[in-house]
Amino acid sequence: MTLRNSRAAGTSGPPSPADPVELAQEAAFELAGLRVEPSLCRVVLSNGPRPLQPRIMQVLVALARYPGETVSREDLMHACWGDTIVGEDALTRTVLRLRELFLEAGAEVSIETVPRIGYRLTGPVGQIVKPVPRTTGLLRPSPEPAAPPPVATPQPAPLHLLPQIAFALGVVLLVISAIGLALRPPERIVLQDTAELRLTPVTFEPGLETEPALSPDGGQLVYLGTDPASKQRVLLMRSLAGGNPVPLTDEYAYAPAWSPDGGRIAYAKRSWLSPCRLYVRAVPGGTEREVGNCTGAGITTLTWAPDGAGLIYADRATDMIMRRLVQRDLTGSDPEVLVLPPPGEIGDERPTLSPDGKRLAFVRVHQLGNEDIGLLDMATRQVTILPMHADAIESVAWSADGKTLLATGYGARGGALWRVDVVTGARTMLLGGQRTIGMVANARLKDRVILEIVSRRENLMLLQSRDGKATTPITPEPLLESSSRDRMPAFSPNGKQLAFVSDRGGHPDLWISDAPFDTARRLGELNAGDVVAPAWSPDGTRIAVGVRRNGAMQMLVIDVRTGNHSVLFNELLLLEPVWSPAGDAIFYQRKDGPSWRLQRVALDGSATSTTVATNIQSVRSGLDDTHLLVRSGEDGAFFKLPLDGGALIPLGLRSGELDRHLWTVRAGAIFGVTMSARPELVRIDPAGGTTQILARLDELFWRGGIAVSPDATQFILSRTLLQESDLNLVEMK
């Protein structure tokens, strides 16, 4: 049937495909069992309402007007964007988000791409016969279980007593942490009468708009985005009253922070492995001035000192991984350490000063996957911990009255926005159901909140070679396409099955595909926040995989035939399981205090774990059954490691720019991806020491693992197809 809005209902015919979609005048309708409410910008799923950005809802309505019929791109652009000039990729991204929604809902509805023409909505569309009482259209958050009371902690030991940890380990942990934050399940939105929440898009341009910072009065927004003129990632400033953004910097900068009086902006610049440089400039027309450097490499966030004469940020000593909060004035003097984390913890990050300048909120990272919020009294230097038990906390922002905090991050059930009482520690989930969520910012003088919502899509890509030596160029081809995040592929020993991690079922799980790899099935439900590094047993009957649950990790062994699994052991953090050639043990990397150890656990039921080696960056099966192949040292050199431990045996190969985790061993050779300016898939011959380029990969978007078939003729990589974030104004009542 054809949908007609309330304005058009009195006219002589149905709307044309190009007629503008006025959401406020569109009636609610049913779509394959889902209730679509255009005027409220939401779709009601079985687990509650799901908000949609207005532009996405407009496209859905425009397609639903003509179910089963093709609507051209031109008509959709005119109906939903009007006279605004945008690229076709804006429509493509909008359709992708609708497909993700339908997949999550399990609805029998889809949007089919009609090549070179447009899109077609397939699925039953009908009017609401029995209207239900209209609600406010606002999301109501659900209070989480009462948190334990805040815990006051004494000031830790002085800096000189902290353990000395290699800087290289810090880089490894940063990479691992970034990977870990990407794999999170969605969370249901439960409606309750505790508060109300509405999201209104502030930016909807292609690409990434991140790191929002609001002026104290809430009128101006500074963020990291793409300058339309130069196409460079720079800091932009825009008025929330309207108008186009203007660039504040002419090169990449990050961590913007407004001064308490709103007259200056502080920010940082860096290269990936060098310490950051700190800058301050007056707004809108001042000249930037460098005020100091960070000590250790790595990213940071900034907040101003209470008197506006200095900056507070997270930094580390040169030879340490532990991050601590420091304050420096704007004259270039040495920074003062404000607080030290307890020994053995990763450290403190993301500081933000309260509106009255008396308290500093920050994120305390105990270990990867175990983070809380800390409060520092600026006068007494006393630290109080607000227990969150979060897998990760992305950002923290104060309410204007200083009584609550807003925090974004990932809990046991996925990405969320929380409100936290700074006295009792009680928290309320304001928004859930996000596969990925970014930063939150609030104005200092009034509650005006900006929230970053992130979208990512990764798909598996197949590269085929006749002999594994690429006598002809190899071109990547899509494999098992989806609108989800498919990554960490692993071939079975006989090459007839492929295991991979995907959230196509709504949350991260292990999936299996049988040759010729055109369909996939879920191998049981693991109910985990992370699923990482699947590894096949030598006989192909079992898969070892690491999962994250409740702030820790477990090693599971899964029966491929039945999907049943058993817990082998628990660890705070584990990486890269590798089976012994006989299938009677599993090797894995374990974080033990400040160091990493390669462990061996026997599968005889005792779960006894023994240390085989230390300071190993990554580990794979060996070139034969007598050893493992590992990488160690600053240059990531290759070594043979005997199965029972012992001295590392240099392999004498140049690793070059081969990624330290994107590599594997097959058919007596090493295969991997180089992370140069243009990534390349390469084959390294251990006997001759030669490196051969198998394929040149167009973009540096290949971080989700590598799989090579037993005969080394098929290569599967995970490619990032979409990584986008938009900033939204959050209204709460």
Contacts of range 268-277, beta carbons closer than 8 Å, 24 or more positions apart: 268/294, 268/299, 268/300, 268/302, 268/313, 270/294, 270/297, 270/299, 273/171, 273/297, 276/300
Kindly write down the DSSP assignment for every residue of 159-183, as one continuous string: GGGSPP--HHHHHHHHHHHHHHHH-
Q: Residue 14's pLDDT is what?
A: 55
Question: 362 with 395: CB under 8 angstroms?
Answer: no
Encoded tokens for 703:
């971080």
Closest by CA to 330, choosing from 311, 307, 314, is 311
Encoded tokens for 156:
């830790």
Q: pTM for the complete prediction? A: 0.58
Return the minimum-mean-pLDDT range out of 29-38, 279-288, 690-699: 690-699
Return the minimum-mean-pLDDT range out of 249-263, 330-344, 404-418, 470-484: 470-484
Instruction: Give bridge partners of residue 393 from the DSSP assignment.
Output: 409
Helix (H) or strand (E) holding 590: strand 585-592
Q: 383 versus 651: which is more confidently predicted?
A: 383
Q: Residue 259's pLDDT is what?
A: 95
Q: Residue 9's pLDDT is what?
A: 36
Indicate if the pLDDT at residue 5 is higher than 60: no
Sorted by where each starts, the structural domains of the chain and their CATH numbers stand as 8-137 (1.10.10.10), 151-290+332-346+382-447 (2.120.10), 456-724 (2.120.10.30)
Q: Residue 545's pLDDT is what?
A: 93
Q: Residue 467's pLDDT is what?
A: 60
User: Residues near 637 by Cβ (< 8 Å), separated by ≥ 6?
Assistant: 631, 650, 651, 653, 655
Task: Using pLDDT thresholds of 50, 70 and 90, give the confidence band for residue 671.
Answer: very high
Q: Residue 228's pLDDT is what?
A: 83
Q: 470 versus 519: which is more confidently predicted?
A: 519
Indicate if the pLDDT at residue 272 is higher than 60: no
Report pLDDT digits (tens) over 151-208.
Answer: 554 444 333 333 333 333 333 333 333 333 333 333 333 333 334 567 788 887 777 8
Report pLDDT digits (tens) over 49-73.
Answer: 787 877 888 899 999 988 888 898 8
Task: State how far the Cα of 426 lies from the Cα of 423, in Å rounded to an integer.
Answer: 8
Report which DSSP code applies to 128: -
Indicate if the pLDDT at residue 145 is higher than 60: no
What whole-number percentage of the chain has pLDDT above 90?
A: 34
Closest by CA to 109, choosing from 92, 28, 120, is 120
